[in-house]
């Protein structure tokens, strides 16, 4: 039976990654490896303090499952064993990868999905001054940019960035940083800048105002959605959801959430934390169900793991089996 090995790893970020809640200079990840004879299945997660997670607690949670894994814990049982979150994500994705290696079939085949295709990913511009963000956007020269906002001066940031990159599609992520009374002004600025989508403008649990105001730009839930049990409260407030494997607790729930959300009339964005190609690879299976792909984590790192995903500009290619799946 499989042996579970857990490792905490750190990867430096190229420069500094800044959102409304703060900045960081490295990506702290946890890797779950399942060893079964000649086969090794791997999964990577990013413990997120916003959700009360830490590297140490995630490692401890996974270490407590070593015996259960050795006794044959499968994906279905894992969904009952752990709640949605980073720890379940790492192990769930490792189980998918191990099954693919053992069966000689690709993970997308096991999931009953068509073969993943290359996708255009958003590229994130960290929160900064209007001038700095506009210059970063110009230098990035990407077709799809995700702008981190959520601080005073956001309208000026939007205007400066749009002037710098008139042809780029823009997504805005406020990371819960706006207030309900300021939504009309923020939405108007986004509409004037031709923004495609606004992510999580209000704090999760304090977003009722979204159902009471006109939304000239579609609004996407991020911190307000985790697994399928989050969906009921989103309809009428949001137009889309951001599916992240670290929130859903792995690929298993991510696929189920994406399908159920589409059935409820919500668009899908597939997103990520800042992490390596190992964390992005399983999310590319969700990309086939998504209207917007935001899997630029490795592009924000000073170095990625090897083997890695292949990025050609903003086009990310599906993983090779040596990486995952």
Question: Could you tell me the residue ranges of all domains in the chain?
Answer: 3-110, 119-316
- Among 18-22, 39-43, 120-124, 193-197, the minimum mean pLDDT is found in 18-22
Which residue in the block uniquely carries the two structure tokens 């720890």? 87
Q: CA separation (Å) from 66 to 1, 35, 61, 274? A: 11, 12, 10, 27
244 is catalytic: yes
Q: Is the pLDDT of residue 18 over 90?
A: no
Q: Does residue 157 carry a pLDDT above 90?
A: yes
Q: What is the pLDDT of residue 39?
A: 97
Q: Which of 101, 146, 244, 247 is catalytic?
A: 244
Do the beta carbons of residue 12 and residue 26 sit within 8 Å?
yes
Residue 94 scores a pLDDT above 80: yes
Task: State the CB neighbour count (10 A cutoff) for residue 37.
Answer: 8
According to DSSP H, which parts of the chain are helical? Answer: 55-63, 66-70, 75-81, 86-103, 107-110, 130-140, 154-164, 183-192, 245-248, 251-263, 277-287
User: What is the model's pLDDT at position 23?
Assistant: 79
pLDDT at 125: 96
Q: CB–CB of 14/297 below 8 Å?
A: no
pLDDT at 1: 83
| Beta-sheet strand order (sheet of 219-221) | 123-125, 144-148, 169-173, 195-199, 219-221, 240-243, 267-270, 292-293
pLDDT exceeds cutoff 80 at 317: yes
Query: What is 119-316's CATH topology?
Result: TIM Barrel (3.20.20)
- How far is Cα of residue 44 from the mean position of the Cα atoms in its chain? 12
Question: Is 81 labeled as catalytic in the residue annotation?
Answer: no
Select 3-110's CATH number: 3.30.565.10, 3.30.230.10, 3.30.390.10, 3.40.50.300.
Answer: 3.30.390.10
The position carrying tokens 């814990």 is 73
pLDDT in the model for residue 269 = 98
Count how many Cα atoms sit within 13 Å of the Cα of residue 99 in the half-sphere of its side chain: 15
* Stated pTM of the model: 0.95
CA quadruple 272, 275, 280, 282: dihedral sign: negative
pLDDT (tens digit per residue) in 237-283 = 999 999 999 999 999 999 999 999 999 999 999 999 999 999 999 99
Q: What is the per-residue pLDDT for 211?
A: 94
């Amino acid at each position: 039976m499989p042996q579970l090995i857990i490792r905490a790893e750190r990867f430096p970020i190229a420069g500094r990654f800044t959102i409304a809640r703060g900045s960081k200079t490295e990506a702290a990840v946890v890797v779950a490896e399942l060893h079964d004879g000649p086969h090794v299945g791997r999964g990577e997660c990013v413990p997120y303090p916003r959700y009360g997670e830490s590297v140490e607690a995630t490692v401890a949670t996974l270490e407590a499952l070593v015996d259960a894994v050795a006794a044959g814990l499968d994906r279905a049982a894992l969904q009952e064993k752990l709640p949605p979150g980073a720890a379940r994500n790492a192990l769930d994705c490792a189980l998918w990868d191990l099954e693919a290696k053992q069966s000689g079939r690709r993970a997308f085949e096991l999931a009953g999905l068509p073969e993943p295709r290359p996708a255009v990913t958003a590229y994130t511009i960290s929160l900064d001054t209007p001038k700095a963000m506009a210059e970063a956007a110009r230098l990035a020269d990407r077709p799809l940019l995700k702008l981190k906002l959520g601080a005073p001066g956001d309208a000026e940031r939007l205007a400066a960035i749009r002037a710098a990159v008139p042809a780029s599609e823009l997504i805005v992520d406020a990371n819960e940083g706006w207030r309900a009374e300021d939504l009309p002004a923020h939405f108007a600025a986004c509409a004037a800048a031709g923004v495609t989508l606004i992510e999580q403008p209000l704090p999760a649990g304090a977003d009722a105002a979204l159902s009471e105001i006109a939304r000239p730009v579609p609004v996407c839930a991020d911190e307000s959605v985790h697994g399928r049990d989050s969906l009921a409260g989103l309809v009428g407030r949001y137009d889309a959801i951001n599916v992240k494997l670290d929130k859903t607790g792995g690929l298993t729930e991510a696929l189920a959430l994406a399908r159920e959300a589409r059935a409820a009339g919500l668009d899908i964005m597939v997103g990520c934390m800042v992490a390596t190609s190992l964390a992005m690879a399983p999310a590319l299976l969700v990309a086939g169900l998504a209207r917007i792909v935001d899997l630029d984590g490795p592009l924000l790192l000073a170095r990625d793991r090897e083997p890695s995903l292949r990025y050609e500009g903003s086009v990310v290619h599906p993983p090779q089996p040596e990486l995952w799946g």
